Structure formats: structure tokens, C-alpha cells
Amino acid sequence: MKLEGTTDIAAPRERVWAAFLDPAVLAVAMPGCDQLEAIGPGQYRAILKVGVGAIKGTFEGKVHLSDLDPPNRYHMAVEGKGGPGFVRGQAAMELSDVEGGTRVHYSADVQVGGLIASVGQRMLGGVSKLMLDQFFAKMTEILAAQP
């Protein structure tokens, strides 16, 4: 499943960049995140509770950031598994200045398997888009509250 989009955040690029790399901020902004901890440079362990339709469960996984070009772009690899199945993905994030803040462009390719894949691509795509929208809305709210 491919996901791509752009969102604008009303904060300077350096602050957006710092927030995207801060485990405490990410844990608050990511829907369903129970825990996110740094386990090494650019590496995190995550526990997420996610539901798609009637299928709900807890995923435990790892996030690895690479190709960091502060404060412009980075790549992210995600891998997780749990009762409902597994998820693996790659994403690229690119930040640029726009009037009034920062434009974030993301492009991701995600694979899911197991029980969670049985809900179908259309529903998975809709839930994924909803979770991304919630993440960016919360990130915008967090950055707006910072001085």
C-alpha cells in the first residue's frame, strides 16, 4: 500500500525537524502509541495499539531512521508484529519552508499481513490516512503550544 501526501505545519522547519526526532513528542502525537523509547542513535522501540474495523491488537516493533539531512529530509523503516499480524514499511519525509511555517511531504510504502490484512486494502488505506491526519493534527497542536 502506497501513501503519499503533503501537510503544512505553522512552525519553523528547525522546530518541526526537532519534534519529528523527539521520542517524547512522537509518542504523544502517534495515534495508539503506548510506548516509544530510543534504543540507539536513530533507533526506537515502539508499542502501538491499533484497530482496523473489528480487528484490534497490540503491535511491538522497531523504527530506524536513516539518511538524515537536517533539517531537510530523512528515511524511516518500520517493522512491527503482534496478534493481528505484521506491518513493514519504508517512508521518506521531506521538510521545506513555506510562508507561515513548514511543508512536510511524505511518501511511504507499507506492507501488512496476517489477520489485519483480511480487512482489505480499501479499509486499510482509509484507516492509514486517518491515522496520518491525526498524527499531523496533533503534531501541529504540540508545536503551536511551544514558545
CATH number at residue 134: 3.30.530.20
SS3 84: coil
Give the largest Cα separation in the chain, rounded: 45
Reading the chain (147 residues) residue by residue, the pLDDT tens digits are 888 999 999 999 999 999 999 999 999 998 888 999 999 998 999 998 887 777 888 999 999 999 999 999 999 998 999 988 888 889 999 999 999 999 999 998 888 888 877 776 667 777 788 888 889 999 999 998 886
State how far Cα 103 lies from the chain centre.
Answer: 16
Distances in Å between the Cα of 65 and the Cα atoms of 112, 119, 121 are 20, 29, 26
Range of the structural domain that residue 42 is part of: 2-145
CA distance 58 to 39: 20
Q: Is 32 helix (H, G, I), strand (E, B) or coil?
A: coil
Instruction: With 0.75 as the threshold, say if the pTM is over it.
Output: yes
- Provide the number of structural domains found in the chain: 1
